[in-house]
Amino acid sequence: MKLFRLVHKQVASTLMDNPATGCSFAQNLPFIYGYDAIPTAVLESPVYRSLAKILPVLYVVEYILPEYSPIKRIMSASNIYGDFRTSNDYLGPWVKFFLNDCQELAAAFPSKHFFWADINNYIINPNHKMFKHVKIGKIYQLARSHDNS
């Protein structure tokens, strides 16, 4: 399975040596956001929230998960996404339980923006025993065009 992640230059340059570089955290538990397509990564990645200024150049990274990786399917629920009004949590409390349980390498959950479509977002657990088999594929430079013509 191939998933995509949006990162900035400092993270992209170190991912071949350590695929967990620049991961996100849920109550001190690391995880990596993944998306099933590059446009979804661009539209839904929290990297835009974490930067004070959107950089003119970002990178898209291919994560290649081993065949038959165990994936937990999180179905539609009201607590998939956190409450922006009360905290910085992008995802709800289920993430902590998923990461602590450590039974699956990844969790798939419905898109926040395209909930009506069959589009999943993912989190990858770098503490899962199969994470050592996750490979970094291509790293693409994603440059925003400044040409308004």
Per-residue pLDDT tens over the stretch 58-99: 899 999 999 988 888 877 655 676 655 544 457 777 888 889
Query: What pLDDT was estimated at residue 88?
Result: 44
Using the predicted structure, report yes or no on whether residue 45 has a pLDDT greater than 80.
no
For 105-141, write each residue's pLDDT tens digit: 999 988 777 767 777 889 999 999 999 999 999 998 8
Strand partners of residue 62 = 4
Query: What pLDDT was estimated at residue 135?
Result: 95
Using the predicted structure, report yes or no on whether residue 146 has a pLDDT greater than 80.
no
Query: What pLDDT was estimated at residue 49?
Result: 57
Q: Which of 16-25, 36-45, 108-117, 121-130 has the lowest mean pLDDT?
A: 108-117
Q: What gap in Å lies between CA 39 and CA 26, rounded to an integer? A: 25
Query: What pLDDT was estimated at residue 10?
Result: 85
Q: Encoding tokens for residue 108?
A: 């798939």
Count of beta carbons in the 10 Å neighbourhood of residue 43? 16
Using the predicted structure, report yes or no on whether residue 32 has a pLDDT greater than 70.
yes
Q: Is 77 exposed, middle or buried (0-12, 13-18, 19+ CB in 10 A)?
A: exposed
Query: What pLDDT was estimated at residue 142?
Result: 80
Using the predicted structure, report yes or no on whether residue 148 has a pLDDT greater than 50.
no
Query: What pLDDT was estimated at residue 126?
Result: 96
**Cβ atoms 123, 23 nearer than 8 A:** no
End-to-end Cα separation, the chain, in angstroms: 38
Q: What gap in Å lies between CA 24 and CA 20, rounded to an integer? A: 9
Q: How far apart, in Å, are the Cα atoms of 84 and each of 34, 37, 81?
A: 21, 25, 9
Please give the radius of gyration of the chain, using alpha carbons only, rounded to the nearest integer. Answer: 15
Query: What pLDDT was estimated at residue 42?
Result: 79
Q: Which one is predicted more confidently, 57 or 145?
A: 57
